[in-house]
Chain A
Amino acid sequence: MPEPFVNLTAVAAPLEMSNVDTDQILPARYLRRPRDERYATYGFHDLRFTPEGAKRDDFLLNRAPFDRAAILVAQRNFGVGSSREAAVYALLAMGVRCVVAESFGDIFFNNSLKNGLLPVRLPEAACADLRAQLLARPGADISVDLEAGTLTAPDGTVHGFAIPPFARDCLLRGLDEIGLTMTLMHEIEAFEAMRSGQTG
């Protein structure tokens, strides 16, 4: 079951990157690992660590206060590429609960919603403004209110965002879709009966 997501006020980190693909969020060699707390070190692994395993200071998420960030603000096409849901597990393990971007990879967007990670789409200018504020005031908070569908910038500017209603309900209540779909089982069975009637 995903954790419910209602609202969140937390340190946010600006990621001046577009096309952050899920291979970068979670390198393929970690995909064979079972889901556990080690996912916190797998997240963005090759950007965070040198091949010898040393922390790379040139990567923002390695530096205080951004190493505490629960919100990331990126550019366009965050989470494109591979369908690996484990990329979402890695972000969650790192403590990230919300990603703001101009656009998201389609499957990543769905995977996030199903695991209690909130993907917030905002226009290019709004994302750029948020990143500029976060750079100017390191450690500043962003507030997200899912019920109201609003995100509040460090300077108090309020941006509205939309999440598909069904996914939003599930997130707010921490429900998973399987349980909800099970209540429609009679319709699934009726569909199968109708189809076998057609072909038989």
Chain B
Amino acid sequence: MSPSRRRAAVAVVAWLLVLAACGAQIAHTRFVADLSSFLPTAPTPEQRLLVDQLRDGALSRMMLMGIEGADAAVRADLSRAVASTLRRDARFTIVANGAADGFTAERDFVVAHRYALSPRVDAERFTVQGLRAAITQTLDLLASSAGLLVKPLVARDPTGETLAVLESLQGGQGPRMLQGVWSDGEGRRAVLLARTRASGSDVDAQAAALAAVQQAFDAGVASVGASAQGARIGVTGPGAFSARSRALVKGDVARLSTLATAAVATMLLVVYRSPLALVLGLLPVVTGAVVGIAAVSAGFGLVHGITLGFGATLIGEAVDYAIYLFVQAGERERAADAIALRGFWPTIRLGVLTSIAGFCALVFSGLPGLAQLGVYSIAGLVAAALVTRFVLPVLLPANFRVRDLSVAGARIAAFARRLRRLAPGSSSSRPRRSRCSSGAVTTRGTATSRASIRLPRAIGCSMPGCGRHWARRMRGTWS
């Protein structure tokens, strides 16, 4: 085995080992999606409270439901049906629709902790006078019309602390009651309130809870019968928002990224003329992403969802590394790959170094989320560059050549010139030339004059400068 082939084998094996190690690290990585990573590392108690409440607070678990349509009696029946179904569902801790039986668990809790919770308990409460006053009050209550309701409690709670707690919890009049359940002010919809066991940031659980509500409602409609046909249920609340917005974002991301991937893949296929090269071209980015996630996971203990999202765009430039390599490989003979490397490697090295310099600023940020982004990008880019430098040349097919698109490029450029002549008032006196027509284009500021890259003209046309030029031309045409 020649020294160069041995080196190639070592590179590939090392790459595979690193990938395996990173995979193992990622396998037990915790991914989070709440905002705490974008708080300062030493948050004030207020900031901590805010994030805790946003993520886990009672309000974040609230689900508001409204039943509309049909008549009030049917809505009330549906409200009771939904409430009784959801109360049996372990995913909900509280389901309230205004009916008295909705708070059994809470009432038991208040009874059990009455002395700790009661606003009336103080040192005086258990003196002779205090007890006399409290018990006299209880006796008055027993003699009143509410006596029958109070009686079951009196033996356990002779000083009436449970009622004191319940009274202190009662704010105002509460929602309007219609047919024995809560209704909105106009009496047009029955209102229910539920609290999920899962926290509001657990979007999967929130989505499941949403589905459970709809299911309970459908079952209720089925059991009430034909009179409930016009009724429908609306659900809102933080959990419902996050579940629905995630579904929307998911749909958009899936659609747009499918389109973008298809467009990029088509273009690269046209240029590379090799599906294998297309796959190889993605290796640096994929490796970079894997190493980046593993690095963040090892350094921070958890990976934030936003790091994954933004990090992918930050290390997206690694796609270019493969393009540089392929273009160079296409222009020189593969037999001299060492020489070819000498041509493209300094370009990539410079690009990686400038990017690292930029991302270093993120690493030292006080916000863990930004620091994660910095670590992710630096680790990812270094890994991508190393894969491009040592692994890709080994895997590239011997006869690989990028297709020469200069003819097509020239045609497009000529077409652009014709278009420009069509634009009124700008045809004759513009000596400026479209940059599309120049053969060599420097890309994204990462290439230097020493290592400028000749790109096929079709690609050159998509460069930002050209886009601006085009936009200007088109505005001139239509205005």
B and A form one assembly: no
